[in-house]
A and B are shown apart, each in its own frame.
Chain A
Amino acid sequence: MTIAKPVFYLLLVAFIIAAPLLFPNFGTQLATLWLMIIVALTWDMTGGQMGYNSLGNIFFYGTGMYVCAVIGIGIAYPIAEYTNAAGGGIYKFTDTQYFLGAILGIIGAGFFCSLCALIIGYFTFSLRGPYFAIGTLGVAIAAGELVSNWDWVGGGQGIALPVYPYDLDQGKLFFYYLFAVTGVVLFLFLKWMYKTRFGAAINAIRDDEEKAEAMGIHTLRYKLTTWSISAFFVGVAGGISAYQLIHFEPLETAYQTINLGIFMVVCVLLGGKGTLWGPIVGAILFQIFKEVTWNYLLGWQWVALGALIVVTVVYFQDGLMGWLKTTKPEWFGIRVEESSDGGAKA
């Protein structure tokens, strides 16, 4: 048992590194899988561990994309001039400009989204239950509509970013590893964070916010910190996506409220809310489901997706990890003792 765990993690890391080389045809899908894992894990921070079900985390994804694009282009050319030309061939980026812009843009996107989370959270975290979900959904929809009317960043046409300067296959690997590193860092961070006092405090907020406050936990401060950390990683993921997709537009790609914005919630519910591995397992299952339906049920894929949401939410809300936890508690280190009257207690 003691040897099994390190071996498992070593194999996992080896697989993560080798995956795009083993399956070169699925490079983009694997990168998308990492994106799903990142957004699902970050959604679970507030939704699963803290009990605040946000439907507006996609706001940080879209904002991250735009901030990254603005920084990445802005270090070389004035934005307004660039967007007016709709990214025509006149604008050449040198290699240094490309990579410096990408790195600065991705990091800047993360920090800007954290700041946004603090500001939005200050106003929305006093909303409880469904009002928080509706309020955050409103923020995401409104942002998408406003950005699509904002000509400085390209309006409804969106923005085109420079293309990866070297070989395109190498570019696919580059973005895969960017996503993978972000995902692994996020996973390790969460693994550590959920064990600390901070993790216990946000769980307390989920279980009973009034009591948590009575125990002396400054709930608003904890809620804002958690959301801004989660927004940081979503913003970084958005920034990487912006460079990976090259061209994006506001309503369907950046602030895609009913696509990715809901997918992340479904991933977490599929895998199991409030667990560390649940969102990851859910993201993998969901990505497989999505690829299969998009390939073989073309035209009906959205109906299948809606049905998946309804079935998951109505019949299978504990998710895979929740189901395993009740059927195989010993796998999670929960000792089940047979009490004298024959019933089991944890």
Chain B
Amino acid sequence: MDQILGNLGLLFEFPVVNLKIIIDGVMIGALFALAAYGLALVWGVMNVKNLAQGDFVIAGGYIAWWLTGLGVYPLLGVPLAFVLMWGLGWIIYKLVIARVIERDLFTSLLATFGIAIMMAQLLNLLFGSDTQSVNLGFETLFFFDGFVDVPIAKLIGVCMAAVLATCVIVFMKYSRMGQAIRATAQDARAARVLGIDTEKVYAFTFSLNAAICGAAGAIIVMVWVIQPFYGITYAIRAFVIVTAAGLGNLPGVIAAGLGIGALEQYGSHIFGIGYQQAIAVLLLLLVLVFRMIQQRRSRQVLK
């Protein structure tokens, strides 16, 4: 208890610490937001809740790490991971997801859970269970007498995430395929009647989601570390963000992503790093309870 109060006091005594926490949180949150956006896309368009989201992220990270080991320039790993994960997403869609779209909601949850277990284990068997990262070799910038440190690699990562998000937004808004995806999300049957090949839209959406996650993972491997079983961390965050922001609300997803990144950093600063995972999950429960209270209908009975 004393420790918690001490940590709280530190925040007021040195306001600069707040700045550092917020900067860190926003950087992490930007990557959470990418994974969450992919989830919102798949959830909204085809009503599939993808629990393997985090493992797509980790798989993208391992692709980038593996390519760097082969001598590819690290930053090129991001677009390459995007392309390769697109292919993997397409294969998974054709093998599994295409058969669960029409089924009840729990089915997709369990099926993607099976995929998540398989992917994590395969990555473990292929690359070992050590944590891995790619060192870009850039320097770290210091502000406020060294209180706030911003590694250039993290800055580049956040910029790449922003560029990717912008590209996806523009694509969804103006391209023909983007319009088809949004139409299918609104009413799949009407879209089919109007001549949209929804099957193709579904395959495209799921592949796009995997690709976004893959690129996010490639950025993460340059900025932090990855490990085959870290996937669940990103999956939980993605679910928290999407539940909080709602489907098809892109600015909401980004804002919630940044917010959760910052909240989590505050939480782990105040309560200690051991509680970080617990804080994310408790946030999910809080969001669920809050949403439930918001939507509670009044039950009326005759007496």
Contacts and interface: CB of A to CB of B under 8 A. Distances in A.
A and B form one complex: yes
Interface of A: 53, 55, 123-124, 126-127, 129-131, 133-135, 138-139, 141-142, 145-146, 148-149, 258, 262, 265, 269, 299-300, 302-303, 305-310, 313-315, 317
A126 B105 contact: no
A139 B122 CA distance: 28
B115 interface: yes
Contact of A303 (B106, B107, B121, B274): B121
B9 to A, nearest CB: 21
Given A53-B106, A130-B105, A307 B275 contact: no
Contact of B125 (A133, A146, A300): A300
Interface of B is mostly: helix
Interface of B: 49, 96, 99-100, 103-111, 113-122, 125, 232, 236, 239, 243, 272, 274-275, 277-278, 281-282, 284-285, 288-289, 292, 296
Nearest to B43: A130
A129 to B, nearest CB: 4
B123 to A, nearest CB: 11
Given A138-B281, A310-B118, A127 B288 contact: yes
A159 B296 CA distance: 41
Nearest to B240: A138
Contacts of A141: 236, 277, 281
13 contacts: A130-B105, A134-B109, A134-B239, A138-B282, A141-B281, A149-B272, A258-B232, A269-B110, A300-B121, A303-B117, A313-B110, A314-B96, A317-B107
B100 A314 contact: yes
A314 B115 CA distance: 12
A138 B114 CA distance: 18
A245 to B, nearest CB: 23
Interface of A is mostly: helix
Give the 5 A-B CB pairs with smallest separation, nearest first. Answer: A309-B114, A306-B118, A145-B278, A306-B117, A310-B114
Nearest to B111: A313
Contacts of A126: 292, 296
Contacts, number: 108
A142 B239 CA distance: 14
In this complex, the member of B96, B99, B111, B114 whose beta carbon has the largest number of chain A beta carbons within 10 angstroms is B114
Nearest to B292: A126
Contacts of B236: 138, 141
A71 to B, nearest CB: 25
Nearest to A55: B109
Nearest to A315: B99
B96 A307 contact: no
Contact of B96 (A123, A299, A303, A310): A310
A133 B106 contact: yes
B239 to A, nearest CB: 6
Contacts of A307: 114, 118
Contacts of A148: 274
In this complex, the member of A55, A130, A131, A148 whose beta carbon has the largest number of chain B beta carbons within 10 angstroms is A130
A141 B284 CA distance: 11
A131 B290 CA distance: 13
A310 B111 contact: yes
